[in-house]
Structure 1
Amino acid sequence: MKKSLIAFAVLGAFASVASAQSSVVLYGIVDASTSYTTNQTAIGGKKLSLDNSNLSSSRWGLKGSEDLGSGLKANFQLESSLSVDTGTAGSLFDRIATVGVSGDFGTLNMGRQTNLAYDTLVQVDPLNVAHVGTNPNIVLGGLNNATLYGTHGTSNGFSSATRQNNSVKYALPSVLGGINFGAMYGFGEKAGDASASSYAGASAGFSQNGLTAVFSYGQMKDATNSSTLRVYTGGAKFVVNDEFTVKVTYAENDLNTTGRTISVFGAGVDYMLTPQTTLTAAYYANRRSGDMKAKADQYVGVAKYALSKRTAFYGSFSYAKAGTTAAKDQELGLFIGAGNKTATRTTVGLLHAF
């Protein structure tokens, strides 16, 4: 018995040391809502649905770090998408799968991770990344559209370009009171052509005294190295006072082979009505030029009530208007049904974070 007690004491001591030097956290977001959407068929049909991820993307993941001493840490993150409405998930750790190190020199991560355009826009998005599946800054600016962007970058045509496989991302610590820089490269891994299916980008930002300004540039090659997609993103967020925050963004991507240019201008404001209640209004102007002319606009309002630090009840109303009833305009409208020029969506939902 004494030996057993001693053994348990020793194991407990080792466990205490290990927990002091390293940590692993299970985390996630579960977001479900009911939506009523108009003009979803050619004759203006309506749709009532239970949706997933209308305030924030549902997900679950593991992340952790180990203290290596002298200010150096080893880090990892594994994150998977989650569809609450059906109880299904994407491929395991389809959102993030990285391992890296951090210290006074900055942070270096390797694996599957978001591109710099996405990283830039989510910091200043007028909707705070709500309605991720139809948010123009995410779908068009952050390249989360497999049809338009999936043929370029390290996804090799199997998914959108928002997340890049086989990538290395470096973030420099803030210097001179709030200036930061970043760089990222994704390996195309094609034998005989190192540039094909590759991604390369750089970013810069500033944050001080309530003002955040961010910019990024990236370029992606297709599998044959015959086409280049260039991406430019930028935006700013200004905290006017304890109640008001104003945000402005601009994103543009250009395809050199066809001359296609897709741009998104976004503007919005957050108003804290009470410590628990936040109202958000946002506007997006989506445009296409070069290969063809197309346009659509979105107007979105969101009300969020915090039931606790981790749980929120929310409602939203969205209105989308395309330039014409043609498919090229509806593609930019993002939730307008075929044969329609406008659509509305009313959503009520609940989000819990853990």
Structure 2
Amino acid sequence: MKKSLLALAVLGAFAGAAAAQTNVTLYGIADAGIGMIDDDAVGGDSYVNVFSGVQSTSRFGIRGTEDLGGGLKALFNIEAGVNWDTGAADSVFWQRRAVVGVASSWGELRLGRDYTPGFSAAGATDVMGYGLFGNWLTFTAQAGNLGITTRASNGLHYTSPTFGNTKCAATPAPTECGAFGGGLSFRAMYATGEDPTGNNTGDMYGLAGVYKGGPLTVQAYFQSTDNGTGNDDQYGAGAQYVAGMFRVAFNYGMAKRDDGVEHEGMGLGAGVKLGGGELLVNYIQQEVNTAGTPKATSIGVGYVYPLSKRTNVYATYGQLDNKNGANFGLRYSQSVVGAGGVDRDPSAFAVGVRHFF
């Protein structure tokens, strides 16, 4: 009897040690707002709308790591989007992220569905952080490889460690770092289209770099997709500079398809600390080189006020002007207003709350 109890105690100790090496976290974002939409549809009018994910896409996920020893760890992450206004899934379940991999001092290597290098890099210099009306998603989120592909399935994804003075990559950075004493990191990806004909249709690769030091952030990216007859390329760059209570940001993007169609965009953003929160403005112009040169300009304004480290309230307004047969939509984090309508001029307003858990 005593031996059995001792064996159980030993097994319990080993189980406890194993559990201590594994860290699993349930996390998410709940973001909902209410406001008005005018999608400028023929015969339509403005209407009251309850939004999900105006500032950040509402989501929940599970992530975890296990210490494998010798500085090596295993990791996984699955993440799903939720429409907080209806409770429905926003797309295919776990479509936001589904990866497993390993990490060490040399970086992270992941397999599965993850963000592309270009999408991650461009978000670092969007003054609105891919949220609120009129953010840089207004350029990136286009069909037919004409923006920045957001995620890639069936992929091998690599994220490097930060090279250089890593303490200078913090925000705010120590004063001695100045504008050019920071860290540089890279992301690379190869995703297979799993084409059974062996022609590599759907294969994709990408590379991006982000430098962050002191008040300066700079990013650049290139990614390419095999469309079966040639390659569709996406590339761009951006920068953001913080000076006290002010910050300014610039983004440039080009999506060039093998059939000769090009979509070019430029964005200029600014932020200023005001009344305990931050006032944000983002201006974007974009055009496509097809017949008539369809083009659009958009303006987004937002104010974000923190209530705690995990909760903030916001107010945001945006409008977009399509010309020459353009049909761009006004983007917020989780969805779009006025997409698909030729020469429509959509606008929207919302106030809401975002909570991290």
Length-normalised TM-score, structure 2: 0.85
Q: Deviations over 1:96-134 (max 9, x none)?
A: 000111111111111001112211111111211114xx7
Q: Equivalent residue of 2:123, what SS?
A: helix
Say which of 196, 205, 223 aligns to 1:191: 196
Give the C-alpha shift of residue 273 in structure 1. 1.8
Equivalent in the alignment of 1:103: 104
The letter of the residue matching 1:254 is K
Aligned length: 333
Structure 1 pair 179–3 and aligned structure 2 pair: CA distance change class (3 A) = same
Equivalent in the alignment of 2:243: 240
Give the C-alpha shift of residue 11 in structure 1. 6.4
Equivalent in the alignment of 2:174: none
The letter of the residue matching 1:138 is L
CA–CA distance in structure 2, aligned partners of residues 93 and 294 of structure 1: 35
CA–CA distance in structure 2, aligned partners of residues 349 and 191 of structure 1: 47
Equivalent in the alignment of 2:130: 129
1:303-314 maps to which residues of 2 (within 5 A)? 303-314=303-314
2:149 counterpart of 1:148: no
Query: Unaligned stretches of 5+ in structure 2?
Result: 166-182, 332-336
The letter of the residue matching 1:176 is G
Contact residue 296 and residue 333 of structure 1 kept, 8 A: no
Give the C-alpha shift of residue 65 in structure 1. 0.5
Give the C-alpha shift of residue 290 in structure 1. 4.5
CA–CA distance in structure 2, aligned partners of residues 183 and 172 of structure 1: 9
Q: Equivalent residue of 1:18, what SS?
A: helix
Structure 1 pair 43–30 and aligned structure 2 pair: CA distance change class (3 A) = same
Contact residue 260 and residue 291 of structure 1 kept, 8 A: no
Q: Equivalent residue of 1:282, what SS?
A: strand
Equivalent in the alignment of 1:94: 95
The letter of the residue matching 1:148 is G
Larger deviation: 119-128 or 332-341?
A: 332-341
CA–CA distance in structure 2, aligned partners of residues 80 and 173 of structure 1: 27
1:8-27 maps to which residues of 2 (within 5 A)? 13-14=13-14, 16-27=16-27
Equivalent in the alignment of 2:221: 216
Equivalent in the alignment of 1:58: 58
The letter of the residue matching 1:264 is G
Contact residue 59 and residue 81 of structure 1 kept, 8 A: yes
Q: Equivalent residue of 2:251, what SS?
A: strand
Contact residue 318 and residue 330 of structure 2 kept, 8 A: no
The letter of the residue matching 1:137 is W
1:33-48 maps to which residues of 2 (within 5 A)? 33-43=33-43, 45-48=45-48
Q: Equivalent residue of 1:124, what SS?
A: coil
Q: Equivalent residue of 1:196, what SS?
A: coil
Contact residue 188 and residue 208 of structure 2 kept, 8 A: yes
CA–CA distance in structure 1, aligned partners of residues 231 and 72 of structure 2: 37
Give the C-alpha shift of residue 136 in structure 1. 5.9
Q: Equivalent residue of 2:346, what SS?
A: strand
Q: Deviations over 1:270-315 (max 9, x none)?
A: 222244x121111111211145511111111111111211111111
Contact residue 264 and residue 286 of structure 2 kept, 8 A: yes
Contact residue 73 and residue 103 of structure 1 kept, 8 A: yes
Q: Percent identity?
A: 28
Query: Unaligned stretches of 5+ in structure 1?
Result: 153-159
Q: Equivalent residue of 2:328, what SS?
A: helix
Length-normalised TM-score, structure 1: 0.86
CA–CA distance in structure 2, aligned partners of residues 136 and 295 of structure 1: 17
Give the C-alpha shift of residue 92 in structure 1. 2.2
Equivalent in the alignment of 1:170: 158
Q: Deviations over 1:176-196 (max 9, x none)?
A: 331222211001111242521
Equivalent in the alignment of 2:256: 254
Give the C-alpha shift of residue 213 in structure 1. 0.6
The letter of the residue matching 1:140 is F
Q: Equivalent residue of 1:120, what SS?
A: helix
Give the C-alpha shift of residue 263 in structure 1. 1.6
Q: CA RMSD in A?
A: 2.6
Q: Equivalent residue of 1:119, what SS?
A: helix
Give the C-alpha shift of residue 233 in structure 1. 2.1
CA–CA distance in structure 1, aligned partners of residues 121 and 291 of structure 2: 27
CA–CA distance in structure 1, aligned partners of residues 163 and 93 of structure 2: 37
Structure 1 pair 40–55 and aligned structure 2 pair: CA distance change class (3 A) = same
CA–CA distance in structure 2, aligned partners of residues 278 and 53 of structure 1: 19
1:255-334 maps to which residues of 2 (within 5 A)? 255-257=257-259, 259-275=260-276, 277-290=277-290, 292-324=292-324, 326=325, 329-331=326-328
2:119 counterpart of 1:83: no
CA–CA distance in structure 2, aligned partners of residues 74 and 39 of structure 1: 46
Contact residue 126 and residue 266 of structure 1 kept, 8 A: no
Q: Deviations over 1:73-105 (max 9, x none)?
A: 111100011111110113221110001111111
CA–CA distance in structure 1, aligned partners of residues 155 and 289 of structure 2: 31
Structure 1 pair 265–8 and aligned structure 2 pair: CA distance change class (3 A) = farther
Q: Equivalent residue of 1:118, what SS?
A: helix
CA–CA distance in structure 2, aligned partners of residues 52 and 310 of structure 1: 17
Q: Equivalent residue of 1:20, what SS?
A: helix
